[in-house]
Amino acid sequence: MTIRKVDQLELRGKRVFIRVDFNVPQDEKNNITDDTRILLSLPTIRFVSEAGGKVILASHLGRPKGRKDPKFSLAPVAERLSQRLGKKVAFAMDCIGEEVQKQIGGMKEGEILLLENLRFHPEEEKNEEAFSKALASLCDVYVNDAFGAAHRAHASTEGMTQFVKIVAAGFLMMKEVESLEKALVNPQKPYVAILGGAKVFDKIGVIQNLLDKVTTLLIGGGMAYTFLKAEGFQVGKSLVEEDQIEFSLNLLEKAKGKIKFLLPSDHIAAERMDAQAKSEVVKNDKIPPDWVCLDIGPETVKTFSEEIKSARTIVWNGPMGVFEMEPFSEGTFAIAKAIANSSAFSVVGGGDSVAAVNQAGVADRISHISTGGGASLEFLEGKKLPGIEALRRE
C-alpha cells in the first residue's frame, strides 16, 4: 500500500484539512519563543493555498486535558503564521460545530483557516468515532503533515481518515518517512548508530531493532553507566538503572562478534552536577566513588569520531552528557560536528540531539533533522506509526 503525496492531488476548490504540528513553546505571556514547527509547515500550506485549495489547519498545543484553556489557545499561532506567510490566516474559536462549518462554507479558494486547539475536546485523544466524523465532515481532502504526532492514534491523526475518501501526506511528513526509511531499509554500510540520553530503558526498542542493521553502535550519555556497571566498572554516583543491568549484560553478549558495541573509555567527572563543581578527565577504572560522570572524555570523542568518519549511514538520538551545562557540553558538540563533517547520510532525532546540532551551528550539514522526538524513536524501534499507516491506501 502506498502513501500519496499532497502534490499528486487535484486541490482546486476542495476543502483541505491539514493536520499540522503547531505545538510550539511559549512563555508565560503566551508569546511564541520558537516558531520552527510553524516554519516547517509552510511549504505544504503554501502549496495547497496556491493550488486553489481551501486550507483548514488543525493542531494540538500543550496538554489542556480535554477542556478549553486560554493558556493553550492557538490564536497567537494564527497571528505568527499570518506574519510568516505574508497573508491573512483566519481563526476559528473551535475545531468542530456549526460556527466552524459556517466559516469554512464562506471560504474562497486559497484562503486559510486555523482551527482552535483539538485537545480542548477530550474525544481527540480518545479517538472517539463521533468526534472523528465531525472533523471529517469539515473537508474533502485530508493531509497529514504532523510527523511529531504520527505515533498517536488520535481522532485527527488516525480516526478521521476512515471517513475521508482522499488522504495524503504533506511535504514534511514525506521527508520524515523517506529519510527514516532510508536509515532503516537497506541502509548503506558502514552504518553507525549513536545513542545517548539518560536511560537504557528509553532506548531498549531502538537498540534491539538496530542490532541486526548497524555496523557500529556508540553509546554515551547517562545510559552508558548502566552498561559500564554491567561490565564490572565502579561508576561512582553516575546514573545507573539497576533493573537494566542484566538486560545490558545480555545485550553486550549478543553484540559480541556481530557488531562493534562501543562504550566510553574516559569521562568528564565532577564532584556534583554543577557548572562550578571541580571536574577532571577520568578513565573507566578511575572514576572516584563520590563523583558523577557528566560527559564523554577526549579519548572517547576521538574513538567515536573515527567511527563516524568512516560511516556511510549515521543515526543519532540522545546527547553524550549534560550538554546544557557548558563544562559538560564538549562531548555532545564534538559528536555533532563529527557527524556534520562526515559524508554519510545522517539522521538526527530527539529534542536534545536536535538542540545540540543547532547550538553547535552544524544543523545545515545534517542530511535530515527529525521533527518528532517520540515519533522518530518509535520509527527507529521498527514500530508502525498510526498516523502514517492511516495514509496508506491501495
122-131: pLDDT as tens digits: 999 999 999 9
The answer to the question of residue 386 being in a domain is no
- What pLDDT does residue 308 have? 98
pLDDT tier for residue 202 given thresholds of 50, 70 and 90 = confident
Under DSSP, the state recorded for 385 is: P
CA–CA separation, 45 and 288 (whole Å)? 55
Which pLDDT score is estimated for 257? 85
Confidence class for position 88, pLDDT limits 50, 70, 90: very high
What percent of the chain stands above pLDDT 90? 83
Q: Could you tell me if 168 and 200 lie in one domain?
A: no
Among 29-38, 170-179, 381-390, the range scoring the smallest mean pLDDT is 29-38
pLDDT band of 352, cuts 50, 70, 90: confident
Q: 243 and 372: one domain? A: yes
For residues 153 and 194, state if they share a domain.
Answer: no
Q: At 185, is the pLDDT very low, low, confident or very high (cuts 50, 70, 90)?
A: confident
Q: What is the mean pLDDT of residues 271-276?
A: 94
Which pLDDT belongs to residue 59? 98
138 and 56 within one domain: yes
Q: Return all residues near 111 (Cβ < 8 A) that are at least 6 apart.
A: 49, 54, 55, 90
- Model confidence band, residue 196 (pLDDT cutoffs 50, 70, 90): very high
The pLDDT assigned to 78 comes to 97
Structurally, how many domains does the chain consist of? 2
Average per-residue pLDDT for the chain: 95
Q: Kindly state whether residues 90 and 40 are assigned to the same domain.
A: yes
Considering the domain architecture, whether residues 158 and 300 belong to the same structural domain is answered as no
Q: Could you give the CA distance from residue 270 to residue 283 in angstroms, rounded to a whole number?
A: 13
On whether residue 245 sits in a domain, the answer given is yes
Among 173, 206, 241, the domain-final residue is 173
Asked if residue 226 has pLDDT above 80, the reply is yes
Let me know whether 162 and 69 are in one domain. Answer: yes
Is 178 domain-assigned? no
Instruction: Report how far residue 149's alpha carbon sits from residue 298's, in angstroms, rounded to the nearest whole number.
Output: 37
Residues 261 and 355 in one domain: yes
Lowest-pLDDT range of 17-31, 78-92, 112-126, 215-229: 17-31
Among the residues of the chain, which ranges form H helices? Answer: 36-50, 75-85, 98-105, 122-126, 129-136, 171-184, 204-210, 224-230, 245-255, 298-309, 330-341, 351-359, 373-380, 386-389
Indicate the pLDDT class of residue 377, thresholds 50, 70 and 90.
confident
User: Any idea what the CATH number is for the domain that residue 310 is in?
Assistant: 3.40.50.1260
In a shared domain, residues 249 and 364: yes
CB–CB of 222/198 below 8 Å?
A: yes
The average pLDDT across 311-339 equals: 95
The answer to whether residue 374 scores a pLDDT higher than 90 is no
Instruction: Examine the domain organization and report whether 60 and 195 are in the same domain.
Output: no
> What range defines the domain where residue 74 resides?
2-173
Alpha-carbon dihedral angle through residues 351, 185, 150, 17, given to the nearest 10 degrees: 120
Residue 345 lies in a domain: yes
Active site residues: 37, 199, 351, 374
Last residue of a domain, one of 173, 207, 232: 173
pLDDT at residue 99 is higher than 90: yes
Amino acid in position 354: V
> Residues 325, 231: one domain?
yes
The torsion angles phi and psi of 294, rounded to 5 degrees, stand at: -125, 0
Amino acid 51: pLDDT: 98
Residue 39 confidence (pLDDT) above 90: yes
Residue 376 has pLDDT above 90, yes or no: no
Residue 150: what pLDDT?
Answer: 95
**Rounded Cα distance, 330 and 350, in Å:** 19
- What pLDDT score was predicted for residue 189? 96
- Tell me whether residue 338 is in a domain: yes
Residue 391 in any domain: the answer is no
Residue 371 has pLDDT above 90, yes or no: no
Instruction: Give me the residue label for grid cell 536511560.
Output: 199
pLDDT given at position 170: 98
Is 154 inside a domain boundary? yes
The predicted pLDDT at position 53 comes to: 98
Tell me if 388 is assigned to some domain.
no
Domain edge (last residue) among 149, 173, 197: 173
Q: For 129, how many CA atoms within 13 A lie in the half-sphere containing its CB?
A: 1
Residue 351 pLDDT more than 80?
no
Residues 225 and 346 in one domain: yes
CB-based burial of residue 40 (10 Å sphere; 0-12 exposed, 13-18 middle, 19+ buried)? Answer: buried
